[in-house]
Amino acid sequence: MYCGQKLSERIYWTGVYDRRKHLFENMWPLPEGVSYNSYLIKDEKCALMDTVESGSDRSYLDWLADTLEGRPLDYLVIHHMELDHSGEIENLIRQYPDVRIVGNAKTFRVLEAYFGKLPNLVEVKDGDTLSLGYHNLKFVFTPWVHWPETMMSYDTTDGVLFSGDAFGMFGATDGGVFDDQVDFARYESEMRRYYSNIVGKYSGMVQKALAKLSSARIGAICPLHGLVWRSDPARVIGLYDRWSRYEADDAAVVIYASMYGNTAQMADHVARRIAEAGVRDIRVYDVSKTHVSYLISEIWRCRGVLLGSCAYNTQMFPLMENLTRDLLHAGPKDRLLGVFGTYSWNGGGVKNLNAFAEQIGWETVAPSAEILGRPTCEKYAACDALADAMACRLKK
Ligand code: FEO
């Protein structure tokens, strides 16, 4: 007998936690694991909302069967075909061969690509509805949040939104499944890291999705990762709205690449000078020590961004180049930028950071600061000007 978690009389959380996996999409660190959420609506008809990653928890189908208590599974609704949610479809169909699979035309193209031609497909269009008895699902297409086929289901009876990847987060929660069972402050940074690295590139589409849902009375949000929002869904909607509009705190993040500590000294000098000017929220990171996903997340949070690189083979330091490439890919907007760095015999770090500044289109607050060799007091004038300009803009 499994300990089912109920959202309401007929809706069960049937998700799993994976604390063994190290990298989400084989790329993003998972120090606290990840959850794959799935939900069972046990109504006159029974509908499963998505599955979980294949093999993430071998008890998943047992748990589902236990929750169904011998009833047939009438529908599988697929909101998102990425394999962290669709991986168990094959096993599910083996166990419930008559289940009808609900998705849109794009869903079914991807479904066939992974699992071959499957029977019992029910294609829905944007705005179509499906009655389960008490609950009535309305399908809301939300393309690119996070794949092109992505859609949400809105239960018009109780205002429950099954939101796909939207409003999800990294991390397996510690005991609590619902937002009122945890202190969200502990999880917010992992939600922002998930947003900025997985969904953030599609922020324009997130805004479109939020606009589409704006007239809906949302009583609860059931995402495919992380907490289920039954008490304060407005809070997470507010965060998504803010992040997808690139709103940021009046904070500074200083990220540097340094081989022998010279550019690191510049970074600390700049950060101290900004602190002396009265900015309290400052973070300093060594790009060689902190995974790029955390850096992107900080850049999503901070309006002021200071990037420093030594020269490396006449280029930027490779890990800084990796960060800038990811930033161009993710495309956060409306940041203030400062650039600094060192060189020994020829430039490359600062020159290429300035090229990045042009490409990303952020406003640079002052000319870049570049030092030949060891940073000494008499070489810091440009750094001081950069720090002062950044502090002045952040305090405005
Ligand atoms: Fe959680 Fe885009 O998959």
Each residue of 169-212: pLDDT tens digit? 999 999 999 999 999 999 999 999 999 999 999 999 999 999 99
**Using one digit for the tens of pLDDT, what is the confidence trace for 330-379?**
999 999 999 999 999 989 999 999 999 999 999 999 999 999 999 999 99
CA 273 to chain centre: 32
Q: Indicate the SS3 state at residue 6.
A: strand
**Using one digit for the tens of pLDDT, what is the confidence trace for 270-292?**
999 999 999 999 999 999 999 99
Q: Does the C-beta of 321 come closer than 6 Å to ligand 1? A: no
Q: Does the C-beta of 50 come closer than 6 Å to ligand 1? A: no
The protein residue with its alpha carbon nearest to ligand 1, atom 3, reads: 82
Task: Count Cα atoms within 13 angstroms, Cβ side, for 17.
Answer: 13
DSSP bridge partners of 283 = 253
**Using one digit for the tens of pLDDT, what is the confidence trace for 70-116?**
999 999 999 999 999 999 999 999 999 999 999 999 999 999 999 99
Instruction: Pick the more confident residue, 9 or 396.
Output: 9
Q: Does the C-beta of 85 come closer than 6 Å to ligand 1? A: yes
Q: Does the C-beta of 80 come closer than 6 Å to ligand 1? A: yes
Q: Does the C-beta of 155 come closer than 6 Å to ligand 1? A: no
| Confidence (pLDDT) at 361 | 96
Q: What percentage of the chain has pLDDT greater than the value 70?
A: 99
**Cα 277 from Cα 290, distance rounded (Å):** 27
Return the number of other C-beta atoms located less than 10 Å from residue 20's C-beta: 9
Q: What percentage of the chain has pLDDT greater than the value 90?
A: 97
Please report the atom of ligand 1 found closest to the CA of residue 164. 1
pLDDT at 2 over 80: no
pTM, rounded to two decimals: 0.96
Inter-CA distances, 20 with 16, 17, 23, 172, 174, Å = 12, 9, 9, 11, 15
Please report the atom of ligand 1 found closest to the CA of residue 224. 1
Map tokens 């300990």 to a residue: 3
Q: Does the C-beta of 192 come closer than 6 Å to ligand 1? A: no
The alpha carbon of 82 and the centre of ligand 1 are apart by a number of angstroms equal to 5
Please report the atom of ligand 1 found closest to the CA of residue 147. 2
Residues 351-360: contacts with CB under 8 Å, at least 24 apart:
352/309, 352/315, 352/316, 352/321, 353/307, 353/308, 353/309, 353/316, 353/320, 353/324, 356/307, 356/316, 356/324, 356/327, 356/328, 359/328, 360/324, 360/327, 360/328, 360/331
Q: Does the C-beta of 146 come closer than 6 Å to ligand 1? A: yes
Write the CB contacts of 106 (distance below 8 Å, at least 6 apart in sequence).
143, 148, 149
CA 152 to chain centre: 17
DSSP 184: G
| Confidence (pLDDT) at 108 | 98
Judging by DSSP bridges, how do beta strands 220-223 and 249-257 pair with one another?
unpaired
pLDDT at 55 over 90: no
Return the number of other C-beta atoms located less than 10 Å from residue 44's C-beta: 11
The alpha carbon of 377 and the centre of ligand 1 are apart by a number of angstroms equal to 49
The alpha carbon of 222 and the centre of ligand 1 are apart by a number of angstroms equal to 14
The alpha carbon of 209 and the centre of ligand 1 are apart by a number of angstroms equal to 16
| Confidence (pLDDT) at 3 | 60
pLDDT band at 130 (very low <50, low <70, confident <90, very high): very high
| Confidence (pLDDT) at 57 | 76
**Cα 366 from Cα 197, distance rounded (Å):** 28
Write the CB contacts of 80 (distance below 8 Å, at least 6 apart in sequence).
50, 86, 146, 147, 149, 150, 151, 164, 165, 224
Average pLDDT over residues 227-251: 98
pLDDT at 245 over 90: yes
Strands (E), 108-150: 121-123, 129-131, 136-141
The alpha carbon of 321 and the centre of ligand 1 are apart by a number of angstroms equal to 26
Please report the atom of ligand 1 found closest to the CA of residue 146. 2
The alpha carbon of 224 and the centre of ligand 1 are apart by a number of angstroms equal to 8
The alpha carbon of 276 and the centre of ligand 1 are apart by a number of angstroms equal to 42
Inter-CA distances, 29 with 22, 33, 159, Å = 6, 9, 34
The alpha carbon of 146 and the centre of ligand 1 are apart by a number of angstroms equal to 7
Q: Does the C-beta of 224 come closer than 6 Å to ligand 1? A: yes
| Confidence (pLDDT) at 1 | 42
**Cα 374 from Cα 380, distance rounded (Å):** 11
pLDDT band at 58 (very low <50, low <70, confident <90, very high): confident
